Structures are given as C-alpha cells and as structure tokens.
Amino acid sequence: MKHQFLLFVSSFSLVLCDLASYLRERENFLENENSRFLGSNLELTSSESLVNDYLMNLKYAELDYGFATADFMQSQNFLISKPKYDSSQVFQFIKQMPKGGAIHVHDTAITNLDFLVANVTYRDNLFMCLVDNKINFRFAATKPDDTADCIWSSVSESRQNSGNVEEFDEAIYRNLTLVVPDPFSEYPNINAVWSSFQKYFVTSGGLICYEPVFRDYFYKGLEEFYEDNVQYMEIRTTLPTIYRLDGSVLSDFQAMLTYEEVFAKFKADHPDFSGAKIIYAPSRKVTEETVYDYISLATVLKRSFPDLMAGFDLVGQEDLGVPLIEFLEPILSGQTESDLKYFFHAGETQWNGMSTDLNIIDALLLNATRIGHGYAIAKHPLAIELAKNRNVPIEVCPLSNQVLMLVSDLRNHPATILMADNFPVIISSDDPPVWNASALSYDYYAAFMAMTSRNTDIRFLKQISYNSLFYSTLDGDSKAEAISLFEQKWDIFIQSFLKRILPSFVSYN
Amino acid sequence: MKHQFLLFVSSFSLVLCDLASYLRERENFLENENSRFLGSNLELTSSESLVNDYLMNLKYAELDYGFATADFMQSQNFLISKPKYDSSQVFQFIKQMPKGGAIHVHDTAITNLDFLVANVTYRDNLFMCLVDNKINFRFAATKPDDTADCIWSSVSESRQNSGNVEEFDEAIYRNLTLVVPDPFSEYPNINAVWSSFQKYFVTSGGLICYEPVFRDYFYKGLEEFYEDNVQYMEIRTTLPTIYRLDGSVLSDFQAMLTYEEVFAKFKADHPDFSGAKIIYAPSRKVTEETVYDYISLATVLKRSFPDLMAGFDLVGQEDLGVPLIEFLEPILSGQTESDLKYFFHAGETQWNGMSTDLNIIDALLLNATRIGHGYAIAKHPLAIELAKNRNVPIEVCPLSNQVLMLVSDLRNHPATILMADNFPVIISSDDPPVWNASALSYDYYAAFMAMTSRNTDIRFLKQISYNSLFYSTLDGDSKAEAISLFEQKWDIFIQSFLKRILPSFVSYN
C-alpha cells in the first residue's frame, strides 16, 4: 500500500497549494460564522480582552474536563448537578459579573427557601395542616376552624412536640423543593414534575401571602438578585390574595401599592438599583370571560400604576392550560382599548404543531413585546423570521426547561441554534429557589457553557446582559440610565477583576 | 369586574372585525409555514389523500394518547420503548410503505441478532473464548491455539455442557445487544454506551467475517431490508478481514468481489430490487499515513468496481477519533487525483465548537456528497446555508442518536428544526439490530412521530423516500429507473392499501 507515496511526492506542490487555499477558505468560513453569534458585534477593550482571556481559559478547562470524563454538569439534571455548579470557577466569575436585569421571574419564587423555612415558619401565629400529604400554612390570630380535610395545628407547638426540630424543618423544606435524590424515578414524566412544581406554590403561598411576610419576602428576593449583581427586575405576578392576621385581605390595588412601596424602599436603600416592574400574569386555565376580567383589571392597573405595571401575561403549565387562540377577543381588545403590552408565555412545550406550540404564532401575531420561554419557536422558521424582523426577543430560562423536563442535556436546548444566528435572546431564571438555584447566575452560566460554542466568549455574556435591559419595558430615559449604570458597573467589574485576579493569572501562565 | 362587558358590547363590531382580519392573517401565516416543511412541495393524488387521511387519524390518535398520558414512546429510550413501537398502527403502516433506499447503514450491523445466535453459532467448526468478559468467536478446522488471554473451546460442546441451552444462547445474545433492562444505570454516559456498542463489532466480527457466513449474513440483511420495503442500499464497510476455515484470508479485492456476487445474486432473486453499493469507511482513529493508504485503496477499488464502489468515509466514535482537519492532504489528494466521492461522518456530537463539531465545516468544504449524521449542523447557520446551496443532504439516524445518547427525547433532535425549513434530509438506520430495531421502518416512524409537526403528513414520508434515492450515488439512468420503480411500488401500495383498508376505515368514520 505504499506505492501512492511516489504519486504524492510528484504532486506535492499541487497538494500543498490546494491545502493552503483550503485553509484560507476554512479560515474565512469560521470568521464569517463567528460573526453571527449573539454578542459577536460587540468590540472588546484591551482590558476586557485580558479578562476575556482569563475567562476563556477557565471555560476551555471546564469543557476539556467534561469531554475527557464525559462528566459534563450541564448535560445532567440540575436537581443533581447543582453542587458542581457551585464549585465552577466560570460560575464564580459570572456571579461577580454585572448581569443587567432578570426579566422573566415569578413573584412567589424569587427568594431562597431557607428564608421561608428558617425565618418565616418561625414567626408567631403560624398554623399548618396536611392536605393530600402536602402542608398548607396560614397565619391567623387564633387557630383557624378545622374542616374535614384540614386539621390545623400551631407550627411552633408542632415543632416543639416533634422531638426533632431539624427533621421537622427538613420536612417543611422537602414540601417546598423539587430537589429529590432521584429525580428520574420521582418524576417519570413532565406532568409529574409539573404537579410537584405547582404544589410549591400552594405550600409557599400560605407563607408568602401573609402581608408582613409578603413585604419581607420581596425585599429579600430583590436583595438576593441585587447581590447576584442584577440591577433591574420585571416580575410576573398572579396578584395572589394577600391576607392579614385578622383574615382581611388586600385589594388588587393595595397589593400593587405594596409592591410599589417595597420596590421604592429597596431602591432608596440601594441607589445603584434601577428598579423593578410588575407583569400581571394570572392563570391561563380559565374561561374567556375571566380573561375579559383580567384584561379589564390589567388596563385599570396600568392606568393607575403606569411606571410599575409593565403589562400582561398568562401562566400555568401551558400544555394543560387554555391556548391563546381561545382568548383572542379579550386580548385584541386589550390592545385596541388600552395599548396593553403583552409578554405571553408561549411554546413552553415539545408538542410540535399542538396548541401550546401554536401559542408561539399567536403571541407573535398578537404583537407580544417579548415571548416567555419560546422554547418551540426554533421549529417555526417563519416565526423566527417574524420575531427577528419585529425584534421580539424570547426569554429563555435554561434550568427551568431542564428541571421541568423539556430537555435533559442543555446542549440540545433549541435556543443554542437561535443564538448561533444572532436571534434576540434574554436569559432569565423563572423560579430559581424551587430547584435550589438562586437569582440569575446559574442560568447565565448554564447558557454560556452548554448553549454556545466553545469559542463563544465574554461578548455573549455582555450581550445577554445588555439584552435584558434593552428589551425591558423601561422607557426612554430610564432605559438609557439603566444601560449607562450597567456600563459603569461593567467597567468597574473589569477593572477590579483585572486588579485582583490578573497578577496571579499572569504569574501562573 | 363585569363592567367591561358594556364596553365590549359597544365595540363588538370593531372587535369582530379585528378578529376576522386576525384570523385571516393567522391562516396565511400557517399556510406559509406549512409550505416550508420537507415534502410540502409534493402534491397528493386523490387516492393518496384518502390514504393520508387514514394515516393522519392514526397519527393524531397516537399523539393525543402521548399527550394525555405523558407516555410518548419517542421521548423514551428505544432500548426500553421498542415494544411500544411494534404495537403502533402508524408503525405498521410505515412498514408496509415503500421507503426507497437505506443509504446510511454499516455492513456488519444490518441483520437481526437472532440470525447470528440461532443460525450462525449453531454451525460447525465454531470456537469461542472469553476476553475481558466478552465472547470472541472464530471458525476453524481445528481448535485454534490458546493464548494467555484466550482459552478456546468448541461452541457446540460448550452449549451441550452448559446444561441450559436457552440460557447459553441468551448469554451470547446479551454479548451482542445493547438492550439492557436499565440503560440509564448501565450506560451512565456517552462513552459507556459507545464502549458497549463497539464491543458488538468485536464479538459479531468473528461470526460474520467467516466467508460462508459473510455471504449469508449479507444476503439475509438485504432480505430484511427488502421485506421492510426498502429497494436500494448504500452500505459502509471497513473492509474487515474475511477468513476461511483454513485460516487464509480474502484480499480487499476478493472481499469486494464477494459483495458484488452477493448483491448480484440478491438482485437476480429479487428483480424489483434496485441494488446495493459499498462505501469504503475504515476507522478514523489512525495516522495521516494510514489515510493516504486508505485513499489509495479507495481509488484503486473505485477504478476496479466503478458501479459497486460509491465512495469513501471514516468511522468510529467521532469524538474520540481523529478529526478531518488532520487528514486534509490525503483527502484533498483523493479528490484531485481520482474524483473520489466523500460521505463523511461529521458532527455526530454535542460538543459545540470542538473538533467533531468542526468536522461539519470540513466535510462541507471538502465537498462531501452527503454528510453522515450531521447532528451538529443545526448549530452552524452558515453551514446550513452552504449545504442548502450545494444541495448536500445529511443522513439522519434518529434511533442511533437516541440510543448512543446524543438526545433523549427525539422531539429535541435538531433535524426537526432543519426539516421544518426544507433542509435536505435522508433518514436512515445506522446499525439497527444492535438496539433490536431492524431495517428502516423504526427510524422512519420515529422521525414522522417525533421530528415533524402534528400536521406533517404522508408527503414527508414520500419525500424522505424520494430523498434516499435522489441523493444516492446511482447514476443517471439507474437513478431514474430506481425512482420510477419506487413510484410504481408507491402507487401499488396506495391502491392496495385503499382496497384492503379503506372500506373498514370509511365504515368506522
């Protein structure tokens, strides 16, 4: 088989010439391709480039480790792999990095569960009962009346009588978290995990919706995001019923005032926070008549709280809810009557061509300002074009999609494909405490490691941070201020990172 | 909250007018979108439409069942869900349907394992030994010499002495198949499943590469595909060493002659079979010098067997093999010297931006005629454009990708996104017996149910069948004949299906 070497010796220059032109063509191709990913239009300063080199070395090392060991945390369920995230240096970098806004999160799932267990359940006047093996909580001046389903007892007494306070608190924690030792057997399918997920909102609701807790919970939630270097939030709320010790409840107007007060206090305490807004997002499992009510309320709230109220959405497991097409008339009326902005959850599904999937089309045609999740949009080339032309971003929540079983290996997340072609994407975190994440960094990190190319660099992280402000509902001046604040924070981060870290980095290279 | 009804009564005609125009716009959008999926350009005859209605009712029923129960077989590992496939009526339909060609399969994995266990291991002169707990087989006139690793024994004697023939045969079967009761614990990651997968080729190789078995195995393999209504094949081969009872081995030339003879005999026995070709596809885990040898051999074989020999490829776990960029010179020389056609495995990976992923770029720039798997191409928008412009299809093997752990829920397979936008895709089956599939129907079925929209219909199935012939290496006349034969078979299928099935279908609707 050696005879071909003579052949190639004689044609060597020809081959080399071909090879050189091949390599040029390849280089051009890769450059062209690299100019298309989300963030590739940004130009880095020399300081940013140095930090980027540092970051990329960490990214390469983690990818190489994952490749060599086939132990790649982002391809494993976050319910199991979370400790690996915490020990990642890339993750630690991203935690310190300014990240702009968190604009797809839900109000009763923004604060760590420890706050609920270790703080809220230790407050006075809390009662509990077991319904269907799940804990219901209620604050009340005196023990609420028992019903056939629900025999109330004092939490403090029950804790004392339990004989094992640690185990008692652990049991409460287990009633709130989705984290289990073996998610694959615990959640055999998407409906099973959604069922547990929704129980969180029932159990936590009794704790969070007590007025004094409500204020503290939000303040604490804002603080957690702020400490994670998030400067702005848009928070979806169902406007749950907020109650007082005497059993009286807040009106929707009073609830909005409460948000406004908490946000104002937080901003006063943290002048470098750009604020927070509310998206009214009640359950989608309702009749058209109820959606008329929703839209009417949203319109009133928008008029009363023009700065606080960003717009309208519908929530709940989309596959088992009512699709947008059933609500066209009230939704269209909301736009014609009052210029309400829409932020519909749409396409949070794998069921290609079924009603949830088609929500993508309706969300776009109904002029949604942004699309929540939009997981299914990648299967709709025309919708991709329309969203790009109208500059409608999707709010991608990678860990939520993984934990709620749309995708197991995050490298298969369809937003990977969209982001490779500069589709407008925002990364957010949905309900981080329910799966033992927190704030925003875990999702930024997951996206950076699993949903971009090996060579995709800090420009991607800066771009998704920009996007979270650029596509926010902050108006002209506020938006410019927020972006300017972000850039200040970014520059400080880059400079202080260089000062703190680079000397040791250089010395080890 | 009822006051808005007055509002809407007064503006009812306005809303209705908006609604009507909205619904028109939506209808247009969906029509436009439906004109973009793979196969949407085909027009159905009225007979085809009737059969299509029948098929679509079955598809809807299966999707609705999957949706209602969250028990959707294509989102479950085929190693477990295979019995569900067999009981599907859509699958039974697709089995009967003419499917064109199977043009991405590997020579030593085309025939059911039962043939190896129940037929081949019962032949005379077979010996076995255990190496690293895996069975090695060898046919020989007398017992081969033992080595430190390998103590040979007669299979027939061992079977007799085992005391339990059924368990003995079952143990052989277990040494060949990837099917295990709990694939998730048995194969914790992609390298683990690939390791077992590659052991199949070692164990089966000793059986298949014995010359008389070799002929029978291929004839039987062709028969299985033929009975699955496949009319044409392109088969990748490493040109393994084929041996005789006396220990002598066939030259590569003799091996090619053997293929030629088996294919010719099969075609003589089955006049409505369009034939089979060979793609020489040796291991990619080699040096550049070896690839020069490969290319040289491929060139000689192409000259000697111009009809039989379709072209060249490299095989083996791509992530752990050598990337194409290491072999540019021999590969470029093969094209300039001898016009060799390439069918590279490329992008069978999740590692975005790493060497296997970049094989996609090299395969395209090296003018591959088709790309094997091409799983990663969806993450490369420029590669998608180039492939579309040059009309280079990818050979997608859904069940292989699932079993070999690129994707768990086939609805996340990236070819879904490509096929929604009319990217040229061929569906094939890779190594079906290793995961207890067979021939081609399982993969067509998986693609139809999980990788298309709910409303994607028989035109998709007809188009992928067309594609398997259109993108084959059959030359002008042969290709026209094969396509014409396919159309005859298709018409007969449609007509006979209508005759047999439609009366009962109509009466039940």
What is the CB-side half-sphere exposure of residue B218 using CA atoms within 13 A?
A: 30
Instruction: Determine the average pLDDT of the residues in A77-93.
Output: 98
* B155-162 vs B165-176: helix crossing angle, rounded to 10: 130
Q: Are B382 and A409 within 8 A, CB to CB? A: no
Contact by Cβ (8 Å): B232, B275: yes
What pLDDT score was predicted for residue B504?
A: 59
Residues A366 and A412 in one domain: yes
Residues A154 and A286 in one domain: no
Q: Are B420 and A14 within 8 A, CB to CB? A: no
Of A131, A159, A186, the residue at which a domain comes to its end is A186
Q: Is residue B279 one of the residues assigned to a domain?
A: yes
Q: Which pLDDT band, with edges at 50, 70 and 90, does A71 fall under?
A: very high
Instruction: Determine the average pLDDT of the residues in A97-116.
Output: 98
What pLDDT score was predicted for residue B478?
A: 96
What pLDDT score was predicted for residue B502?
A: 64
Nearest-CA distance B305 → chain A (Å):
18
Neighbours of A263 (CB within 10 A): 22
Residues A246 and A149 in one domain: no
Q: Are B333 and A381 within 8 A, CB to CB? A: no
Cα A258 to Cα A235: distance, rounded to the nearest angstrom: 14
Residues B253 and B308 in one domain: yes
Instruction: Kindly identify which residue of chain A lies nearest to residue B187, measuring between CA atoms.
Output: A70
Of B186, B214, B242, the residue at which a domain comes to its end is B186
Nearest-CA distance A454 → chain B (Å):
5
What pLDDT score was predicted for residue A55?
A: 97
What pLDDT score was predicted for residue A73?
A: 97
Return the percentage of chain A with pLDDT > 90, whole number: 90
Q: Residue for token digits 């901003």?
A: A267
- Phi, psi (deg, nearest 5) at residue B396: -95, 130
Residues A103 and A125 in one domain: no
DSSP state of A280: E
Cα B32 to Cα B228: distance, rounded to the nearest angstrom: 35
Residues B295 and B173 in one domain: no
Question: What CATH number does residue B417 fall under?
Answer: 3.20.20.140
Indicate the length of chain A as a whole number: 509
- Of the residues A104, A345, A373, A380, only one is catalytic, namely A373
Instruction: Determine the average pLDDT of the residues in A38-65.
Output: 96
* B165-176 vs B190-208: helix crossing angle, rounded to 10: 120
Q: How far is CA A262 from CA A232, A255, B379, in A?
A: 14, 11, 43
Mean pLDDT by 10 residues, chain B (509 residues): 37 58 95 95 96 97 96 97 98 98 98 98 97 91 93 96 96 96 94 94 96 98 98 97 96 97 97 98 96 96 96 93 95 83 97 96 96 98 97 98 98 98 97 98 98 98 98 95 98 93 53
Of A186, A215, A235, the residue at which a domain comes to its end is A186
Q: Is residue B56 one of the residues assigned to a domain?
A: no
Q: Is residue B379 one of the residues assigned to a domain?
A: yes
Residues B281 and B309 in one domain: yes
User: Of the candidates B348, B311, B342, which has an alpha carbon nearest to the alpha carbon of residue B328?
Assistant: B342
Q: B11 — contact with chain A (CB < 8 Å)?
A: yes
User: Of the candidates A193, A165, A167, A189, which has an alpha carbon nearest to the alpha carbon of residue A179?
Assistant: A193
Strands (E) across A26-111 are located at: 101-106
Cα A74 to Cα A408: distance, rounded to the nearest angstrom: 9
Q: Are B362 and A26 within 8 A, CB to CB? A: yes
Q: Is residue B67 one of the residues assigned to a domain?
A: no
For the cut 80, the answer to whether the pLDDT of residue A337 exceeds it is no
DSSP string, B123-142: STTEEEEEETTEEEEEE-SS
Which B residues 451-470 touch A at CB under 8 Å?
A: 452-456
Residues B243 and B372 in one domain: yes
Neighbours of A69 (CB within 10 A): 10
Q: Is residue B194 one of the residues assigned to a domain?
A: no
User: Of the candidates A105, A82, A158, which has an alpha carbon nearest to the alpha carbon of residue A436?
Assistant: A82
- Phi, psi (deg, nearest 5) at residue B384: -60, -45
* A252-269 vs A211-227: helix crossing angle, rounded to 10: 40
For the cut 80, the answer to whether the pLDDT of residue A388 exceeds it is yes
Considering only the beta carbons, identify the residue of A70, A319, A333 that sits closest to B189: A70
What pLDDT score was predicted for residue A11?
A: 40
Residues B213 and B337 in one domain: yes
- Of the residues B106, B373, B380, B413, only one is catalytic, namely B373
What pLDDT score was predicted for residue B27?
A: 96
What pLDDT score was predicted for residue B503?
A: 66
Active-site residue, B373 included: yes
For the cut 70, the answer to whether the pLDDT of residue A12 exceeds it is no
Active-site residue, A380 included: no
A39 Rama sector, left if φ>0, alpha if ψ -120 to 50, beta otherwise = left
Which B residues 65-104 touch A at CB under 8 Å?
A: 67, 70-71, 75
What pLDDT score was predicted for residue A101?
A: 98
Q: Is residue A66 one of the residues assigned to a domain?
A: no
Q: Are B296 and A1 within 8 A, CB to CB? A: yes
Tally of domains within chain B: 2
Q: A333 — contact with chain B (CB < 8 Å)?
A: yes
Residues B219 and B153 in one domain: no
Cα A82 to Cα B41: distance, rounded to the nearest angstrom: 47
Q: Are B332 and A29 within 8 A, CB to CB? A: no
Mean pLDDT of chain A: 93
Indicate the length of chain B as a whole number: 509
What pLDDT score was predicted for residue B346?
A: 97
DSSP state of A243: B
Number of A/B CB contacts below 8 angstroms equals 193
Q: Is residue B76 one of the residues assigned to a domain?
A: no
Domain with B172, as residue range(s), is: 116-186
- Of the residues B211, B234, B318, B348, only one is catalytic, namely B348
Instruction: Kindly identify which residue of chain A lies nearest to residue B7, measuring between CA atoms.
Output: A337
* B12-34 vs A355-365: helix crossing angle, rounded to 10: 120
What pLDDT score was predicted for residue A3?
A: 38
Q: Is residue A46 one of the residues assigned to a domain?
A: no
What pLDDT score was predicted for residue A132?
A: 83
Q: Which pLDDT band, with edges at 50, 70 and 90, does A504 fall under?
A: low
Residues A294 and A384 in one domain: yes
Which B residues 376-435 touch A at CB under 8 Å?
A: 378-383, 386, 406-409, 411-412, 414, 416-417, 420-421
Residues B172 and B218 in one domain: no
